[in-house]
Structure 1
Amino acid sequence: MQRVTAANGEKGAVEISDRLQLFVDSYLIDRTVGAELRLHSPVPREVSFPFDLPWEGPVSYYVTVAKEGDLYRAYYRGAGNPGMPEVTCYAESRDGIAWTKPKLGLFEIQGSRANNIVWMGRGCHNFTPFLDTNPAALPEHRWKALASAGPRDSLVPFVSADGIRWRMLRQEPVLTQGAFDSQNIAFWDSARGRYAAYFRGFHLGVRAVLTATSEDFIHWTEPQWIDLGETPPEHFYTNATTPYFRAPDLLLAFPKRFVPERQWDAGHGETGLSDAVFLTSRDRIHFDRTFMEAFIRPGHDPRNWTDRNIGVAFGVVPTSPGEISLYYVEHYRHPTCRLRRATLRVDGFASVRAGYAAGEVLTRPLLFSGGQLAINYATSAAGSVRVELQDEAGRAIPGFTMRECPEIYGDELERLVRWNGASDVSTLAGRKVRLRVRLKDADLYAFRFVA
């Protein structure tokens, strides 16, 4: 029997209540037989927009994508065209697919205010906004950002009421320990009730990630290094860390992995290659690297085999009932530099997968609330999923055995599991229960106990 070590090294009961649980690491898993965790790379879709305006250019970068109501917003650095200063640009969309760059009339460039610039001056190198969901946030501070607008190696806070008109919250830096020349991420961490920031530093000569927290966005804790466990050191140029909007207790990160010594195109002036990788964290400090392989590869396009490409934007957003979208910069330093969208099924970053020969996964003991078990799964036409509920000792609970669960097949985001035709599991709520799931040519992405 193949054993999978839990991400936190423990095997005790996990209190999950009615929260969505994703199979993105081994945290919930006690053991598997003939099944494995599988990473799913997003599917590249259309080019969202090129960085083709005169004040944008081939080194436009550090993108943020956020969804507010029915409006998708993108913020990014405009840079790279001769004679142009760095500026912070804005685009918007009603579906996350077709984007426009509105003429906002806020800042003058080339003798005109007919442009999409939302900030100009100090901080434009890496201005990274977020929509503040803190219920105590002031209306005039609904949007916030950190940017390297102060002395070298420091971050200054910005605020906005509408995400368009920005001002510095204070001139003095709020964070001073780190290397702040790439994208510096901040967000309201609703699961912890505080602000969190993730930014770059150099640890033993390697680009690594620091984190700090704050109650008020002004006073921050001493930064500390995130812990990647016993994994080989790799350069993380950016991190794109974000709470997953469907399960905010889970942090997702999409670092740009930088390989500085490699050069694919000898005619390109800069060395270094990059791709994107996938990390998760349950406690905000320890990040799991179950998947060492690339999440997004450079692909067949030679313009992505130059330095600092495949920079994943800060933000994961829903773009249809069954689809989530990420965005990434490609063709960096080329005249065609642009933003591309990529998609996954909802909760589909990774899964427990078994092939045609079938396999099983057994969870740690779980403490849940709710009355029914719903799963996000996919099978082949010949595949199936079956679920058994066990007690803490691993004994099948009568009425919820594997034999009493008919085969489940299809491809659904939320399918109720039934035993003998009934889905009610409320009698087990509050007890320590394990899930034993048998998979045949199938993927199990997530589950949740629902009312």
Structure 2
Amino acid sequence: MDTRLTRSDAVEDALAGPQPWRRLFLDAMVVEESKALKRVFHSAEKHPDNPILRYEKPWEGIGVCVSGTVMWMGDKLTMRYRCWGKGAAKACYAESYEGIHWEKPTLGFVEWDGSCDNNITIGGTGSIVKIRHPKSERDRWALFSYQSEKGATVVFSEDTFNWRWEEQRTNLFETSDVVKFFYDPYEDRYVATYKTPNRRHRAVGIALSKDGLEWYKPYSGAVVGADDLDPDATQFYGMPVFPYQGMYIGLPWIYHARWMKYGNYESPKQMYEAQEGSPRTVDVQLAWSWNLIQWTRTPDRKPFINLGPKGTWDWGMIYTARNPVIVDDKLYFYYYGCDNVHDIIDDVRCNIGLATLRMDGFCSMRAGNREGWFISRREVFKTPRVTINAKVMTDGYIIAELLDRWNKVIPGFSRSECIPFTGDSIEHVMEWKTKAFPAEFLDADKKIRFYLKNADIYSYLPVDIDTTRDQGNRKEQ
């Protein structure tokens, strides 16, 4: 995998990737039909060394929290995190070369207890976004955040450390206290997800901007929140979103608390009474969309990042950074975990953990001991080679045949002429003994029938998609 892209400081560009985008099984249009396969949604796996960044300095109070940006800067991963507790520092900086072992370098920016020998930064820990069309080098970076007296704000910098606070723009749009920002490379715009009410109380709305300064809301209310497949005690506390392979992926922070069933909200007392008996825990689920307005979630609503066992460091609440980062062949999701439930202010400790997922590993088509198959969507390609991201277990295999638009095998590309795959790879190229299509099939639409046994396939992509004909199919027709 090309680290020049995956380690780009433009976080969203690395995650979205260039066209053509890989075919992920979150997208139901990828599969025309299937038999004896199960569509499986996967959770991220917590790292065994968690928590990978602990509160330990006197200025870090009783906790460290990451809910802003983690990103590559050159050959280092950088993290801005905030500290928890009375008198604690507002923002600190850490860096790592491999994403697991983190250092807290001396920055010398802020005096603490008579010394500048610390990693405290000047500014907040909101969403740091690279500006794609800056007016000058002084505006290469934006820090979007929420401040209680100023609402949604933005301030600019040339290096992510020295922010021009005297030029800060405030009250960008009406929002509550949880708001996350990102750059949308598909539409060349900036996007915010913000906490807003619906009938289940906390939910998520969308705001858009072409320049990061002037904002509008394409829909005035919530675009995603708890629905009738959710338990009663379900609210969306917030939802960071990031672009990924042609779609948008959201990480809703699910607050397990009930809400009022009647009357108007007039005081916090009503809220506390409504959530009596609720778990009041927060975990992370998965959502995805093609247009930021209509969202899909996993049918069983299981956590994407699970809470720890009762009494452990992250058993009460989990909140994620605004985006994952690509490290080698995995997605790294940083989060902070708390050892108590929501609304407990003083008796809570917070540390930062890591959960990982294989590239494209959100959803797979899975076969067990019985062979299954699926037929792909129509594809436009001229070279009979298909890259797959897949894992094969003992006594398993993946083989494929290439079909015409009427599901008839193209001569020379049957399953018996395919070279089987029996390994574990994020980019294995499937080939056939025949190396070229017959002339009459060269420009025709084709499909792929994959046969699986004891295997998971996470994504696929023909090696030479004709992007003049297939431009990603993101637009509504």
TM-score band, normalised by the shorter chain? 0.7 to 0.9
Report if aligned partners of 1:371, 1:426 keep a CA contact under 8 Å in 2.
no
- Name the structure 2 match of 1:68: 73
Deviates more, 1:226-235 or 1:57-66: 226-235
- Name the structure 2 match of 1:115: 118
1:49-74 alpha-carbon deviations (Å, 9 max, x no partner): 11232232345432431112311111
**Counterpart Cα distance in 2 of 1:440 and 1:217:** 49
1:281-332 alpha-carbon deviations (Å, 9 max, x no partner): 222222221342111211324245764x121222211222x22211111135
Structure-2 change in CA distance of 1:271 and 1:330 (3 Å) = same
Structure-2 change in CA distance of 1:230 and 1:44 (3 Å) = closer
2:332 maps to 1:325: yes
Question: For 1:354, which of 335, 359, 367 is the aligned residue?
Answer: 367
User: Which residues of structure 2 form unaligned runs of 5+?
Assistant: 1-17, 260-276, 341-346, 465-477
Report if aligned partners of 1:25, 1:280 keep a CA contact under 8 Å in 2.
no
Structure-2 change in CA distance of 1:310 and 1:135 (3 Å) = same
Give the letter aligned to residue 138 of structure 2: E
Give the letter aligned to residue 52 of structure 2: S
1:148-192 alpha-carbon deviations (Å, 9 max, x no partner): 23636x20102221122223484442533221x23x221221121
Report matched runs for 1:36-115 at 5 Å.
36-45=38-47, 46=49, 47-58=51-62, 60-61=64-65, 62-80=67-85, 82=86, 84=87, 87-115=90-118
- Name the structure 2 match of 1:255: 252
Deviates more, 1:64-73 or 1:369-378: 369-378
1:238-287 alpha-carbon deviations (Å, 9 max, x no partner): 2121123xx2x22222222110259xxxxxx9960121111122222222
2:274 maps to 1:279: no
Give the letter aligned to residue 451 of structure 2: R
**Counterpart Cα distance in 1 of 2:439 and 2:62:** 57
Report if aligned partners of 2:77, 2:99 keep a CA contact under 8 Å in 1.
yes
Deviation at 1:223, TM superposition (A): 5.1
Report matched runs for 1:132-151 at 5 Å.
132=130, 134=132, 138-149=136-147, 151=149
Give the letter aligned to residue 236 of structure 1: F
Report matched runs for 1:158-307 at 5 Å.
158-168=155-165, 170-179=167-176, 181-182=177-178, 184-222=179-217, 224=219, 225-227=222-224, 232=229, 234-244=234-244, 247=245, 249-261=246-258, 272-291=280-299, 292-303=301-312, 307=316
Give the letter aligned to residue 54 of structure 1: P
**Counterpart Cα distance in 2 of 1:338 and 1:428:** 57
**Counterpart Cα distance in 2 of 1:335 and 1:426:** 68
**Counterpart Cα distance in 1 of 2:381 and 2:364:** 21
Say which SS state the counterpart of residue 370 (structure 2) adopts. Answer: coil
Report if aligned partners of 1:177, 1:223 keep a CA contact under 8 Å in 2.
no
- Name the structure 1 match of 2:152: 155
Report if aligned partners of 1:367, 1:429 keep a CA contact under 8 Å in 2.
no
Aligned residues: 416
Report if aligned partners of 1:91, 1:116 keep a CA contact under 8 Å in 2.
yes
Say which SS state the counterpart of residue 334 (structure 2) adopts. Answer: strand
**Counterpart Cα distance in 1 of 2:446 and 2:132:** 34
**Counterpart Cα distance in 2 of 1:261 and 1:304:** 25
**Counterpart Cα distance in 1 of 2:70 and 2:239:** 14
Deviation at 1:137, TM superposition (A): 6.5
**Counterpart Cα distance in 2 of 1:54 and 1:39:** 41
**Counterpart Cα distance in 2 of 1:205 and 1:170:** 38
Structure-2 change in CA distance of 1:271 and 1:412 (3 Å) = closer
1:324-370 alpha-carbon deviations (Å, 9 max, x no partner): 21111113556652111122222222211111112112222234576
1:82-106 alpha-carbon deviations (Å, 9 max, x no partner): 3x05612211111111111122122
Structure-2 change in CA distance of 1:87 and 1:223 (3 Å) = farther
Give the letter aligned to residue 313 of structure 1: A
Give the letter aligned to residue 99 of structure 1: W
Give the letter aligned to residue 411 of structure 2: P
Say which SS state the counterpart of residue 440 (structure 1) adopts. Answer: strand
**Counterpart Cα distance in 1 of 2:25 and 2:309:** 30
Say which SS state the counterpart of residue 122 (structure 2) adopts. Answer: strand
**Counterpart Cα distance in 1 of 2:207 and 2:382:** 33
Say which SS state the counterpart of residue 27 (structure 1) adopts. Answer: helix
**Counterpart Cα distance in 2 of 1:209 and 1:405:** 47
Report if aligned partners of 2:173, 2:216 keep a CA contact under 8 Å in 1.
no
TM normalised by structure 1 equals 0.83
- Name the structure 1 match of 2:462: 449
Structure-2 change in CA distance of 1:144 and 1:434 (3 Å) = same
Report if aligned partners of 1:17, 1:369 keep a CA contact under 8 Å in 2.
no
Higher helix share: 2
Report if aligned partners of 2:200, 2:226 keep a CA contact under 8 Å in 1.
no
Structure-2 change in CA distance of 1:107 and 1:223 (3 Å) = farther
TM normalised by structure 2 equals 0.78
Higher strand share: 1
- Name the structure 2 match of 1:432: 445
**Counterpart Cα distance in 2 of 1:228 and 1:423:** 49
- Name the structure 2 match of 1:265: none
1:125-154 alpha-carbon deviations (Å, 9 max, x no partner): xx32334162556422222221123636x2
Report if aligned partners of 1:272, 1:306 keep a CA contact under 8 Å in 2.
no
Deviation at 1:425, TM superposition (A): 9.7
Structure-2 change in CA distance of 1:422 and 1:430 (3 Å) = closer
1:5-56 alpha-carbon deviations (Å, 9 max, x no partner): xxxxxxxxxxx96322222342312222111221222221122211232232
- Name the structure 2 match of 1:343: 356
User: Which residues of structure 1 form unaligned runs of 5+?
Assistant: 1-15, 263-268
Report if aligned partners of 1:416, 1:423 keep a CA contact under 8 Å in 2.
no
